[in-house]
Structure 1
Amino acid sequence: MAFRWRYLDAQASPVDGPDEVFDDQAEAESWFSDVWPELRSAGVDAVVLLDGDDEVYGPMSLQDGT
């Protein structure tokens, strides 16, 4: 399957974000570790990692201390 991120606002509603697709979970997580500050600055409050349509984990907050 293909891994991708779902982006959420503070109310846990989906918001637009980069439409990146990754071959494996490690690649998706590596990309995310580089861009999460920009996502937070753009209004993304949390993310969910997806494998196809299945949730791998999340929501994971991008806010400090949560």
Structure 2
Amino acid sequence: MSWHWQPTVRQGAGQIDTAGLGLDQHFTAQGDAESWLGESYPDLMAAGVESVSLYEEDRLVYGPMRLEPEV
């Protein structure tokens, strides 16, 4: 199995470097993908990523999930 994140870019943020941010990675377990996101979300937000969706191969597992905390 292969797990990966699909980003949604904030309107007006322009192009983002998905490879440079690590969004081109594929993980062997859901927990590994979620741990990576827990460590990486501040950089993703700073680059203009608004939300992410988790996929197992082609199947949407959950998302889109906003990266900014609810106020």
Which range, TM-score by smaller chain? 0.7 to 0.9
Segments ≥4 residues shifted beyond 4 Å: none
Q: Please report how far the alpha carbon of residue 9 of structure 1 lies from its aligned counterpart in structure 2 after TM superposition.
A: 1.9
Q: Which has more radius of gyration?
A: 2
Q: What are the equivalent positions in structure 2 for 1:35-54 lying under 5 Å apart?
A: 35-54=40-59
Task: Give the TM-score taking structure 2 as reference length.
Answer: 0.80
Inter-partner Cα distance in structure 2 for 1:53 and 1:16 = 22
1:7 matched residue in structure 2: 7
Q: Would you say the 8 A contact 1:4–1:28 is kept in 2? A: yes
Q: Report Cα offsets for 1:3-34 as digits up to 9, x if no partner.
A: 000000236xxx65220110010000011100
Name the structure with the higher helix share: 2
The unaligned stretches of length 5 or more in structure 1 are: none
Inter-partner Cα distance in structure 1 for 2:38 and 2:64 = 15
RMSD: 1.6
For 1:38, give the aligned amino acid. Answer: D
Q: Please report how far the alpha carbon of residue 63 of structure 1 lies from its aligned counterpart in structure 2 after TM superposition.
A: 1.6
Inter-partner Cα distance in structure 1 for 2:42 and 2:55 = 20
Aligned length: 63
The unaligned stretches of length 5 or more in structure 2 are: none
For 1:4, give the aligned amino acid. Answer: H
